[in-house]
Chain A
Amino acid sequence: MLEDKVAVVTGVGPGLGQATAAAFAREGAAVGLVARNEDRIREVADRITAAGGRALPLPADVTDAEQCARVVAATVEEYGGFDCLVNSAFRPDLYGPFEHVDLARWRGIFEVNLFGALQLTQAAIPHLKQAGSASVVMVGSMSMRRIRGGEGGYAASKAALYTATQVLAKELGPDGIRVNTVVPGWIWGPSVRSYVEWESERRGVAADEIVAEIEARIPLGFIPAPEDVAEAIVFLASDMSRTVTGQGLDVNGGEYFH
């Protein structure tokens, strides 16, 4: 689905970013892998290359505009173009009430989740325009659909990104650049696992029971894997969705409907 495309995926860590990079490579894209942790992206790149794919580790911090520019330049230099960008890098919240929160913490979250994604996108625009049919995919969050206390910084940063995405869709559409958001619900991985452990300890219930409770709220009966969410990102990056821009697609097993 992504033959001959050049893509960059940010936030290649142990979860969704890595699964997305692998799915892109499987579908034929050459993938630039962005994260601060250089060892991890080298490892992911090696695995992709071993499976016959093309991958380039690009260690960078998206909060630094200079480094964003270097990511774009290195990608274009290595692969000769830039067609798709997946902004998956994020900073989580600390789960504290607004009343006592240090807003510097919120600013830090916005620097990654909103401005980080925007400045990398901005740096890529000149090359995305050349592509003729380009796509930017943002990663939203269920925390902006289902508001809970204690994670305001994260939820608000993702909501801001969601709206910015629609503005970008308007502005960049005439140049053939589509901009959409995948909105995951629960994703099975390290952060859900630690939440389950934490809940299990707090309530004195077995971890399996906590998982069963979450699954019971999901009509399809399973917590989506990073690979499941990655398929939606592949779709929105590919020309299969060339009719779609400025939209959000919720991937949550049906836990809530948008």
Chain B
Amino acid sequence: MPGLLEGKVAVVSGVGPGMGRDLSLACAREGSDVVLAARSDWKLEAVAREVEELGRTALSVPSDVSDPEQCRRLAEAATAAFGGVDVLINNAFKEDPFVDFQHGGPDVWRDVFDVNFFGTLQVTQAFVPSMKTRGGGAIVMISTLSTRIVNPLLGGYASSKAALLTASKTLAEELGPAGIRVNSIAPGHIWGRSLEWYFDHLAKERGVTPQQIYDEIADQTCLKRIHTSAEIAEVVLFFASDRSRAITGQTLDVNGGRYFH
């Protein structure tokens, strides 16, 4: 059977060693060429090699999504190389600096919004024309459980992603007639290097084993585990593919049943 993205061109932002890499490889495995965007050159090259090992073409475009000019250049480079784009996966994000509202507040939040909200919208806006030339496309936003379960110290991050969820619905409404679908996934904890590092840190702080921390978090889910970014990438594939051709403006919570929306 042909891959879910056979013959398509997919753009993945925020390509690093974690989720961005898994998304890029998942797209390539399903038959699409991949445009890789991130600020750091070296991160892009490693993933580009892996995409090419899967027999697909990779185009690395170092870019900072918080700069509208660089977003435009990214879209131009993609269109010049492939003639158009079918899929955009907005994965680039800025983490919260973990400062509470009293001490951080608007100044800290603005930086987070510049990437997570305005950056994402800037990239999206830049790619709309190249999707229109293909007669439509699929945009997938990566949201977060933090918009559902609010944590102190994550106000900027959670708010920026919540704003993006609402903007995605507006975009779905506006871009639907052009055949462009806009959907979001909201992952919970994602098992990978940075969470592993964080659990080690928590374990030391609390004098327990990292496994105990893992079990505590996993126990809050129905499925009793923390899923990997590769597993979450498969859900993104569904929304990127024509299999979800009748779905737009929706958000799917991908959290092992930690929270029901």
How far apart are the CA atoms of A173 and B260 in the complex, in Å?
A: 13
Q: Are A243 and B232 in contact (CB under 8 A)?
A: yes
Asked if A253 is at the interface of the complex by the 8 Å CB criterion, the answer is yes
Name the interface residues of B39-93: CB closer than 8 Å to any CB of A.
none
Interface 9-mer from B100-108, B117-125, B236-244: B236-244
Please name 5 further chain A to chain B contacts, defined as beta carbons within 8 Å, in addition to the given A243-B223, A250-B247, sorted by A numbering.
A170-B222, A228-B246, A231-B245, A232-B244, A246-B260
What are 11 A-B contacts with C-beta separation under 8 Å? A220-B177, A220-B179, A221-B176, A228-B245, A229-B246, A231-B243, A243-B223, A243-B227, A254-B173, A254-B181, A254-B248
Asked if A166 is at the interface of the complex by the 8 Å CB criterion, the answer is yes
> A233 to nearest B CB, angstroms?
11
Q: Are A245 and B246 in contact (CB under 8 A)?
A: no
Binding site for B on A (CB under 8 A): 166, 169-170, 172-174, 176, 178, 218-222, 224-225, 228-229, 231-232, 234-235, 240-254, 257-258
Q: Which of B173, B187, B250, B254 has the most CB of A within 10 A?
A: B250
Nearest opposing residue in chain B for A172, CB measure:
B222
Asked if B252 is at the interface of the complex by the 8 Å CB criterion, the answer is yes
Which residues of A lie under 8 Å from residue B243 when comparing CB positions? 231-232, 234-235
Partner of B247, one of A178, A222, A232: A232
> B176 to nearest A CB, angstroms?
3
Query: How big is chain B's contact interface, by range?
Result: 35 or more
Q: Which of B175, B221, B227, B238 has the most CB of A within 10 A?
A: B238
Which residues of A lie under 8 Å from residue B250 when comparing CB positions? 249-250, 257-258
Asked if B234 is at the interface of the complex by the 8 Å CB criterion, the answer is yes
Q: Are A246 and B231 in contact (CB under 8 A)?
A: no
Which residues of B lie under 8 Å from residue A172 when comparing CB positions? 222
How far apart are the CA atoms of A33 and B99 in the complex, in Å?
A: 56
Q: Are B261 and A247 in contact (CB under 8 A)?
A: yes
Q: Are A245 and B222 in contact (CB under 8 A)?
A: yes
Q: Are A173 and B251 in contact (CB under 8 A)?
A: no
Which residues of A lie under 8 Å from residue B15 when comparing CB positions? none
Partner of B260, one of A166, A174, A178: A166
Query: When A231-B243, A235-B238, A250-B250 are in contact, do A173 and B222 touch as well, CB less than 8 Å?
Result: yes
Chain B window 151-192, contacts with chain A (Cβ cutoff 8 Å), 1 for yes, 0 for no = 000000000000000000100111111010100000100000
Query: When A243-B227, A244-B252 are in contact, do A257 and B257 touch as well, CB less than 8 Å?
Result: no
Q: Are A257 and B246 in contact (CB under 8 A)?
A: no
> A161 to nearest B CB, angstroms?
14
How far apart are the CA atoms of A252 and B247 in the complex, in Å?
A: 6
Nearest opposing residue in chain A for B172, CB measure:
A254
Nearest opposing residue in chain A for B169, CB measure:
A257
How far apart are the CA atoms of A153 and B251 in the complex, in Å?
A: 27
Q: Are A251 and B222 in contact (CB under 8 A)?
A: no
Which residues of B lie under 8 Å from residue A225 when comparing CB positions? 246
5 interchain residue pairs of minimum CB distance: A219-B176, A173-B222, A228-B246, A224-B246, A254-B248
How far apart are the CA atoms of A248 and B257 in the complex, in Å?
A: 11
Query: When A228-B246, A257-B250 are in contact, do A220 and B176 touch as well, CB less than 8 Å?
Result: yes
Q: Are B257 and A170 in contact (CB under 8 A)?
A: yes
Q: Are B251 and A258 in contact (CB under 8 A)?
A: yes
How far apart are the CA atoms of A257 and B249 in the complex, in Å?
A: 6
Query: When A220-B246, A240-B237, A246-B260 are in contact, do A173 and B224 touch as well, CB less than 8 Å?
Result: yes
Asked if B210 is at the interface of the complex by the 8 Å CB criterion, the answer is no
How far apart are the CA atoms of A246 and B169 in the complex, in Å?
A: 22
Which residues of B lie under 8 Å from residue A257 when comparing CB positions? 169, 172, 249-250
How far apart are the CA atoms of A235 and B238 in the complex, in Å?
A: 7
How far apart are the CA atoms of A254 and B176 in the complex, in Å?
A: 8
Nearest opposing residue in chain A for B187, CB measure:
A243
Name the interface residues of B188-237: CB closer than 8 Å to any CB of A.
221-224, 227, 231-232, 234-235, 237
Asked if B256 is at the interface of the complex by the 8 Å CB criterion, the answer is yes
Query: When A166-B260, A170-B257, A241-B235 are in contact, do A221 and B222 touch as well, CB less than 8 Å?
Result: no
Nearest opposing residue in chain B for A186, CB measure:
B246
How far apart are the CA atoms of A116 and B255 in the complex, in Å?
A: 28
How far apart are the CA atoms of A220 and B254 in the complex, in Å?
A: 24
Which residues of B lie under 8 Å from residue A243 when comparing CB positions? 187, 223, 227, 231-232, 234-235, 254-256
